[in-house]
Amino acid sequence: MRFVTIRKKSILIAAAFCAAFVLAGFCARRAEAAAVYWSGARSLPVYSVERGDNKIAISFDCAWGDAHTGAILQALEAANVRATFFTVQFWAEKYPEHLREMAAAGHEIGTHSATHSYMSRLSEAEIRAELSSSAAAITAATGEEVTLFRPPYGDYDDLLIDTAADMGLLTVQWDVDSLDWKDLSSEEIAARIIERTRKGSIILCHNNGEHTAEALPAVLDALIAKGFEFVPVGELVYRENFTIDNAGRQFRQN
């Protein structure tokens, strides 16, 4: 009797194990299928660009203060590098002379929203208001059309990306983060950027980072010496006939 009881328990344990194994496999396949569907359906910004040449872009977010903006512009001019600046509306309205100086030097200016809010929390109407008013402020200062958008905090959802696209704005992130806002030394900032940059990279800096302007000459000289060519983001990305993989890398579609 004891043998029969033990045998029954063994059979039940084995059956439970098999059921769990099958269920785990089924769930894994379902999860994999869901991941594939999500990555294919989700609207994504551009983090970097697959290119056959050595073009890269360096960008600066402008939201707080302007103490170091002049030094950044001087470093870019000395290296003959054109960059992209993403400006918040209240910054653009407070420092329009900087926008005019940027535009005159051949730099590109995109919007970084009106109020620097978490835009994935906004309705479509609120998103449109943020983007239209911030772009208008930039155009009022420079006379240039705005075609690029960078979400504050890197925060986005499908509605934000799709609404921006409907307004003619390509949403752009970055694949090289300088972390200059963390008060790193100029040497640390330079090392991070130089080590991480590859073909098609978009570098993120901030106009008011404490040591950003100080790090720039070393960054620009080193990357140019490596054979990279700096262009504004608008000249790096593709505006039509492209795909974006689930890492945000943009590819030209044949």
What is the average per-residue pLDDT within 237-250? 96
Amino acid letter, residue 187: E
The answer to whether residue 86 scores a pLDDT higher than 80 is: yes
48-252 architecture in CATH? Alpha-Beta Barrel (3.20)
User: 22: pLDDT confidence band, cut at 50, 70 and 90?
Assistant: very low
The domain spans of the chain are 1-41, 48-252
pLDDT of residue 26: 32
Q: Assess contact for 197 and 222: CB atoms under 8 A.
A: no
Bridge partners (DSSP) listed for residue 110: 86
pLDDT of residue 183: 82
| DSSP structure string for 118-153 | -GGGS-HHHHHHHHHHHHHHHHHHH-PPP-EE--GG
> Helices 158-166 and 124-142, interaxial angle, to 10°?
50
d(CA 204, CA 224): 17
The answer to whether residue 237 scores a pLDDT higher than 90 is: yes
Q: Which of 31-45, 108-122, 220-234 has the lowest mean pLDDT?
A: 31-45
pLDDT: which is higher, 246 or 33? 246
Distance (Å) of CA 21 to CA 16, 17, 29: 9, 6, 12
pLDDT of residue 17: 35
pLDDT of residue 36: 26
pLDDT of residue 2: 38
User: 254: pLDDT confidence band, cut at 50, 70 and 90?
Assistant: confident
Bridge partners (DSSP) listed for residue 251: 243
The answer to whether residue 39 scores a pLDDT higher than 70 is: no
The answer to whether residue 84 scores a pLDDT higher than 60 is: yes
Q: What is the pLDDT of the chain when averaged over all its residues?
A: 87
pLDDT of residue 29: 31
What is the average per-residue pLDDT within 78-104? 97
The percentage of the chain sitting over the pLDDT mark of 70, rounded to a whole number, equals 84
Give 160-195 pLDDT, tens digit per residue: 999 999 999 999 999 999 999 998 999 999 999 999
At 164, is the secondary structure helix, strand, or coil? helix
- Coarse DSSP helix, strand, coil percentages of the chain, rounded to the nearest 5 percent: 50, 15, 30
Bridge partners (DSSP) listed for residue 172: 46
